[in-house]
Amino acid sequence: MRTTQTMTISLPPAMVKEFEAIRKANSFTRSELIRQALREYMYNKFSVYKPTRAEIKAIETGRREIAKGNFITLDQLHAKLDAKNRKKSGKKA
């Protein structure tokens, strides 16, 4: 039984030239370079982060607090931080 599947792709001539230069500089076969490029693309574009148990617990705790109304809005946070910064930067005698 085959463990791979063959695909055919079309590329513009300039891209083929660049592809071949990269392939030769790194001593890859065409298939190796395509596989590596696809791995990188899929990892960077579509990777899924799996949260730890502690992170899941913290998220659930946060959601319960929000449901109870125990939160402040972003505007309230900014106002609170601004007020705190203003107090620190007062004029010195």
pTM score > 0.85 for this model?
no
Contact in structure between 33 and 23 (CB atoms under 8 Å): yes
Q: What is the pLDDT of residue 85?
A: 79
- Higher-confidence residue of 92 and 34: namely 34
- The pLDDT, as a whole number, for residue 49 is 85
Length of the chain: 93
Would you say residue 1 lies in a domain?
Answer: no
Q: Quick check: is 34 in a domain?
A: yes
Q: How many domains does the chain have?
A: 2
Q: In this structure, is residue 2 part of a structural domain?
A: no
Instruction: Find the domain containing 26 and state its range.
Output: 13-46
Same domain, 58 and 73: yes
80 domain residue, yes or no? yes
Q: At residue 91, does pLDDT exceed 70?
A: no
Give a yes or no: residue 60 inside a domain: yes
Q: How confident is the model at residue 61 (pLDDT cuts 50, 70, 90)?
A: very high
pLDDT, tens only, 14-48:
999 999 999 999 999 999 999 999 999 998 888 78
φ and ψ at residue 26, rounded to 5 degrees: -105, 5
Give the chain's mean pLDDT: 91
Q: Is residue 6 situated within a structural domain?
A: no
